[in-house]
Chain A
Amino acid sequence: MGMDPYLSPYRIGKCEEAMTASSNEYSLPFSRNELMAVELANRLRNDDVTVMGTASAIPQVACRLAQLTHAPDLYSIAGGTCSVNPHLGPVVSSCCDYDLLRADTSLSLNDVVLLEGRADVLTVFFAGGLQIDAYGNCNLVSVGDYAHPALRGPGTVGLPFLSRVGRVLIYTQSHNPRTFVEKVDFLSGPGFLRGPADWKAADLPGGGPQLVITPLCTMGFDPDSLRMRLETVHPGVEVEQVRAATGFELIIPDSVPVTPEPTSEQLSIIRTIDTNGLLKGK
């Protein structure tokens, strides 16, 4: 079943697109997953209260890394068990794992869902999708016609919360034209909707998507058009590869820097947390 590109949008580990993306994959002293975790951690602030959902090993590590480096006062909530500041490691694959309850405290799921309603407490949500479009809208429901789907996804879980959270950080293991589309077939997690006019009229409480991180690159959003814009390419990845792997017209600035490599301190902390090597990949 590993051949199905849609098998799991969050699957940790082998990602065929990423494997072929870089000829020096094996010569880098870190995995793609570790790079993604570090890049997410770099975007977190000391006063953040973050929430993550299904299959969230990468954001779990990002939050713990941030707490152990530049953001000691950050709170992170593992949606599912709803434990607050889980004491990783080891890192676990499931957001509902019993071991996540080794934590500072825990809420009930009802409490977390309640707080997700009011937009001024929880500041960061980690999102993903079977499809992610040019305006950062996400789809975890279905590909093709909803009534007769070509692919039925698992369902949206908490993605509608994207409209109410301060900053949405999107991460995905798949960077290909099937995942990155001009317009999602089913909108189950609101990004900047259909662009500036729509976004302004909606007057949503949240700040919208801020970052998209993939095995190839990091992307942000152009402040005028609210369309996705390439920010950095990961070490060994060419801009052309990203353009070819993206199913819509990505905004590409004249100069695209390389994503900074994790520091040895960051890597050493990750490996202290991730004792089972979930992020090591191949």
Chain B
Amino acid sequence: MSKVLAISEAVDRFVPNGVGLVTVGGMHLHNNPMALIREVIRQDRRIKRLLTSPCGALNADLLIAAGMIDEIATSYVGFEHIGLAPCFRRAVEGGTVKVLECDEAYITHGLYAGAGGLPFIALPKGIEFTDIPKVNKENYSFTTDPFTGNQVPVGAPLKPDVALLHAYEADTHGNAVVAGGHFVDRYMALASKTVLLQVEKVVSTEEISKHPQGTTIPGFLVHAVVEVPGGCYPTASHGAYQFDDQEIVRYMNAAKDDNGAKEYVREFVRDTPEHEYLHNAAGRLSELRYGDGSLPVALSDRKM
């Protein structure tokens, strides 16, 4: 059965309004599933809690700009070398979005625990000497190690209701190839109840099965496949195009205050259907395509 859906139908069917925990794939300005995120905003599907990868970026900040989330579990939201994420910063300073303070190791191990049905996961020594477990008792705790009798830090399992992820290509069943960096997207797919996948292109199962070891997300975990070439824009899509630092700076400038952020969201998201948004971005996308010197996807997709 084909899982390929129009983007509006995929979000309508699988992202209920008021959904509990949504996780968004990609890391820094790379492989952010922006088309799915924009569609969630267009359809006004409010999210109680968002979970980012160890480094969230526009995937989190745009949802905050649109006023879509109440809480965020994260270890970082920012634009790396370009600067801080304006809406995350303002929302946390102003107390309008609650942060569940996490670190990279917990997000990674917590997803593993969620994927495997582990009741909790022990964390390596060190986190207890930071202030993080003191401010996030929902995700971090301590227990006695039955083997040594020592007190050890532990993390709660992360079990997202919905994962919004990007992959380079997939077949109609959702068997997907992730080009370039995998970040923690695969564990997001493993840990989540529902997985929506946006891809640069849908290819045949014959094509996909030429490299089963490079096909790191199996179709049985995936509920919907949406074909949106350019859909990570203005973030990078590994194997296809680089992020657009000009557009990120334009967003940062526009989102300097709440009204500016709302106006940006209205103009570029709410009032612009996804196909039109991508049509408008086509010129920049062609300039941002990785050149001939870049890695061919076939060489970069062999590691999970």
Q: A residues within 8 Å of B by Cβ?
A: 1, 4, 6-8, 10-12, 54-55, 57, 80-82, 93-99, 101-102, 106-110, 113, 116-119, 140-142, 146, 148-164, 186-190, 193, 202, 204-206
Docked-complex contact B83 and A158, CB < 8 angstroms: no
Choice from B89, B112, B125, B303 contacting A163 with Cβ under 8 Å: B125
Choice from B75, B125, B242 contacting A164 with Cβ under 8 Å: B125
Contacts of B55 in A (CB 8 A): 54, 80, 96, 157
Docked-complex contact B304 and A151, CB < 8 angstroms: no
Q: In the bound complex, what is the Cα–Cα distance between A29 and B256 (angstroms)?
A: 38
Docked-complex contact B131 and A57, CB < 8 angstroms: no
Docked-complex contact B28 and A186, CB < 8 angstroms: no
Contacts of A81 in B (CB 8 A): 180-181
Docked-complex contact B108 and A110, CB < 8 angstroms: yes
Q: B residues within 8 Å of A by Cβ?
A: 27-30, 54-55, 74-78, 80-85, 88-89, 92-93, 95, 101-105, 108-109, 112, 123-127, 129-132, 135, 179-184, 186-187, 236, 238-239, 242-243, 252-253, 256, 290, 294-295, 300, 303-304
- Pairs of residues from A and B, 9 with the lowest C-beta to C-beta distance, nearest first: A163-B126, A154-B78, A117-B124, A155-B76, A152-B92, A55-B81, A93-B81, A158-B104, A81-B181
Q: List 19 A-B contacts (CB under 8 A).
A: A81-B181, A94-B243, A96-B27, A98-B181, A98-B295, A101-B180, A101-B181, A107-B303, A109-B183, A113-B104, A113-B105, A117-B105, A117-B123, A151-B93, A152-B92, A160-B130, A161-B105, A189-B130, A190-B126
Docked-complex contact B75 and A155, CB < 8 angstroms: yes
Q: In the bound complex, what is the Cα–Cα distance between A108 and B182 (angstroms)?
A: 7
- In the complex, how many angstroms separate the beta carbon of B91 from the nearest chain A beta carbon? 9
Contacts of A93 in B (CB 8 A): 80-81
**Contacts A55-B81, A148-B95; is A109 near B101 (CB within 8 Å)?**
no
- In the complex, how many angstroms separate the beta carbon of B99 from the nearest chain A beta carbon? 8
Task: Using CB atoms, name the residue of chain A closest to B92.
Answer: A152
Docked-complex contact A110 and B83, CB < 8 angstroms: no
Docked-complex contact B303 and A1, CB < 8 angstroms: no
Choice from A55, A57, A159 contacting B103 with Cβ under 8 Å: A159
Docked-complex contact B27 and A190, CB < 8 angstroms: no
- In the complex, how many angstroms separate the beta carbon of B78 from the nearest chain A beta carbon? 3
Choice from A117, A154, A202 contacting B84 with Cβ under 8 Å: A154
Docked-complex contact B27 and A101, CB < 8 angstroms: no
Choice from B76, B112, B253, B300 contacting A154 with Cβ under 8 Å: B76
Docked-complex contact B131 and A161, CB < 8 angstroms: no
Docked-complex contact A188 and B131, CB < 8 angstroms: yes
- In the complex, how many angstroms separate the beta carbon of B213 from the nearest chain A beta carbon? 13
Task: Using CB atoms, name the residue of chain B closest to A150.
Answer: B93
Task: Using CB atoms, name the residue of chain B closest to A83.
Answer: B181
Q: In the bound complex, what is the Cα–Cα distance between A4 and B112 (angstroms)?
A: 38
**Contacts A116-B105, A118-B124; is A154 near B85 (CB within 8 Å)?**
yes
